[in-house]
């Protein structure tokens, strides 16, 4: 029996799955680690914690009997994107890694845009605008603010790729994660020599780029002994967490779009051809499927908005607060009699790219009760997800099915609400394990268990529920949706003034 491991290096912890070749989950293990916030807006971690956690989770699966070491045929890696691991000539960590949610690099983003010749030229080169979360501005920050450490710099790795280095001794990355550095020529799936030259950065700082299912190294004797595995087990490229999560949910063909409602919300569309938004509202990255791309919209407070509502106004509802909120929301008519909720509790990324945006209820009246407030939250978050779907449709990416996952897929009411507001047929699958599962599927494809990533998904992932829009309700939401966007535009000057 062939067994494959998927290791996902997250922000709060690392999760490892053991998966049989037919897709059956054999076991899982997780280890948490701390987040460092040395200053407001700074977010860092010690990369060595990630590698130690990867080893510990695999060892746990071996020790508890979930995995027979002799049956492990391959390992796939997934992880938080954009983080910068700075290594010296000896491969040692120079300083804590700067993470995806670190906000210190606004000046460097402006410098990158200027060096590229403007926002449009930058998007032409690397398909995306400069954002503080991306990797390139972090490298420039190190050069600008810590020149003594920059002088030591020999290699820059992404989080999962540092773990790869610790497991295999190889420097490597793959196209989906590299797309989020702002240094990849996304159209041609290689580093952008043009932008690197404009930024005066040595291309030798960056590792070789592979396709996501390609074998990039094998377990060293030392790593294998620590994990309890045989030496030489192949490790494939893997994927950034969103691309690996999409593979893990079967988003590997044109027309299938993912709507993942976790703390944040992600709309992820597979694309057979390179498509990018000239306005930079949505991200365009290489997919973990060879020769394919994806367009992705991100909202920052999706289920996080519902969690905030529960924590602030519904703690008296007890352990089943989320269920009670959705049950009572179902009693309120669509549109909440003109009540809207803007879910911008942490600013917003897609489509506004506005760190100053804030949350709001608009349309309160004497009839408004807690049930209506709750339904407005659910509707507002789903409108925000529709914003990303609208951009994807405008780019000509086909949408035939929206595949739901995350917390928003657990509630029957919210599943139907999504189908109605998106005005698209929605589905739920048997794949609920996220990026780690996708990483294991990539390992299956890369080691020959299946002939392709698509074949691995076809063999292991199936639709378990189909949700059809209620046409009458969907028509109501089509009429209500434009006002949602108008509210942001009307309040935008106030948000900026309040930030000042």
Task: Identify whether 452 is part of a domain.
Answer: no
Task: Identify whether 124 is part of a domain.
Answer: yes
pLDDT at res. 319 = 80
Task: Identify whether 439 is part of a domain.
Answer: no
Same domain, 367 and 411: yes
pLDDT at res. 488 = 97
Same domain, 278 and 231: no
pLDDT at res. 406 = 83
Same domain, 352 and 318: yes
Chain centre to alpha carbon of residue 15: 15
Which of these three, 243, 266, 289, is where a domain ends?
Answer: 243
CATH number at residue 335: 3.30.420.40
What is the Cα–Cα distance from 158 to 82, expressed in whole angstroms?
6
Same domain, 205 and 260: no
Same domain, 239 and 257: no
Q: Which alpha helices (DSSP H) does 228-263 contain, by range?
A: 241-247
- For residues 238 and 16, the answer to whether their CB atoms sit within 8 Å is no
Q: Is the pTM for the entire model greater than 0.75?
A: yes
What is the dihedral angle through the alpha carbons of 105, 108, 113, 117, rounded to the nearest 10 degrees?
180
Same domain, 127 and 269: no
User: Is-cis flag, bond preceding 445, omega within 30?
Assistant: no
Instruction: Look at the chain and report how many structural domains it folds into.
Output: 2
Which of these three, 243, 261, 282, is where a domain ends?
Answer: 243
What is the Cα–Cα distance from 307 to 393, expressed in whole angstroms?
30
What string of DSSP letters covers 194-209?
Answer: HHHHHTT--GGGS--E
Residue range of the domain that includes 265: 251-430+470-500
Same domain, 220 and 276: no
Same domain, 359 and 475: yes
10-residue averages of pLDDT along the chain (500 residues): 95 95 96 91 94 98 96 97 97 96 91 97 95 95 98 98 98 98 98 98 98 98 98 98 94 92 90 87 94 93 92 89 93 96 91 89 96 97 97 91 88 96 95 91 98 97 96 98 97 90
pLDDT at res. 275 = 86
Same domain, 225 and 305: no
Task: Identify whether 450 is part of a domain.
Answer: no
Q: Any binding-site annotation on 81?
A: yes
Q: Any binding-site annotation on 423?
A: no
Instruction: Give catalytic residues, as residue numbers.
Output: 241
Task: Identify whether 270 is part of a domain.
Answer: yes
Same domain, 23 and 43: yes
* Nearest in space to 129 (alpha carbons), one of 139, 119, 121: 119
What is the Cα–Cα distance from 174 to 211, expressed in whole angstroms?
5
Same domain, 176 and 309: no
Task: Identify whether 462 is part of a domain.
Answer: no
Which of these three, 191, 216, 243, is where a domain ends?
Answer: 243
- For residues 35 and 11, the answer to whether their CB atoms sit within 8 Å is yes
Task: Identify whether 454 is part of a domain.
Answer: no
- For residues 76 and 4, the answer to whether their CB atoms sit within 8 Å is yes
């Amino acid at each position: 029996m062939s067994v494959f491991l998927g290791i996902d290096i997250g922000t709060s912890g690392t999760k490892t799955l053991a998966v049989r070749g037919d897709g059956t989950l054999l076991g899982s293990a997780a280890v948490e680690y701390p987040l460092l916030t040395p200053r407001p807006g700074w977010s860092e971690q010690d990369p060595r914690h990630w590698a130690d956690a990867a080893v510990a989770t695999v060892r746990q699966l071996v020790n508890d009997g979930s995995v027979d070491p002799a049956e492990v045929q391959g390992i796939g890696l997934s992880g938080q994107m954009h983080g910068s691991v700075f290594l010296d000539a000896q491969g040692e960590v120079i300083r804590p890694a700067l993470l995806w949610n670190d906000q210190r690099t606004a000046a460097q983003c402006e410098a990158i845009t200027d060096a590229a010749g403007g926002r449009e030229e930058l998007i032409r080169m690397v398909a995306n605008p400069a954002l503080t979360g991306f990797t390139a501005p972090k490298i420039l920050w190190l050069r600008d603010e810590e020149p003594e450490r920059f002088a030591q710099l020999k290699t820059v790795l992404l989080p999962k790729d540092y773990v790869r280095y610790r497991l295999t001794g190889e420097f490597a990355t793959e196209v989906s994660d590299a797309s989020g550095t702002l240094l990849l020529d996304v159209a041609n799936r290689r580093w952008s020599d043009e932008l690197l030259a404009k930024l005066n950065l040595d291309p030798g700082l960056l590792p070789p780029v592979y396709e996501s299912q390609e074998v990039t190294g094998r377990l060293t004797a030392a790593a294998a002994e620590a994990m309890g595995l045989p030496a030489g087990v192949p490790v494939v490229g893997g994927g950034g967490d969103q691309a690996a999560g999409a593979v893990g949910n079967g988003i590997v063909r044109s027309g299938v779009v993912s709507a993942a409602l976790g703390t944040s919300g992600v709309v992820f569309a597979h694309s057979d051809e390179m498509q990018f938004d000239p306005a930079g509202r949505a991200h365009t990255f290489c997919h973990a499927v060879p020769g394919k791309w994806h367009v992705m919209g991100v909202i920052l407070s999706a289920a996080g908005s519902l969690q905030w509502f529960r924590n602030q106004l519904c703690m008296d509802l007890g352990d089943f607060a989320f269920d009670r909120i959705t049950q009572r929301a179902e009693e309120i008519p669509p549109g909440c009699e003109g009540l809207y909720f803007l879910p911008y509790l942490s600013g917003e990324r897609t489509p506004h790219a506005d760190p100053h945006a804030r949350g709001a209820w608009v349309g309160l009246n004497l009839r408004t009760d807690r049930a209506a407030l709750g339904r407005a939250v659910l509707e507002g978050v789903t409108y925000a997800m529709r914003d990303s779907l609208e951009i994807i449709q405008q780019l000509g990416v086909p949408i035939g099915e929206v595949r739901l996952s995350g917390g928003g897929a657990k509630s029957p009411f919210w599943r139907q609400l999504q189908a109605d507001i998106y005005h698209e047929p929605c589905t739920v699958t048997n794949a609920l394990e996220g990026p780690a599962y996708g990483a294991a599927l990539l390992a299956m494809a890369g080691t020959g268990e299946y002939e392709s990533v698509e074949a691995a998904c076809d063999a292991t992932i199936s639709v378990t529920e189909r949700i059809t829009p209620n046409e009458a309700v969907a028509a109501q939401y089509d009429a209500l949706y434009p006002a949602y966007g108008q509210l942001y535009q009307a309040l935008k000057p106030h948000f900026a003034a309040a930030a000042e």
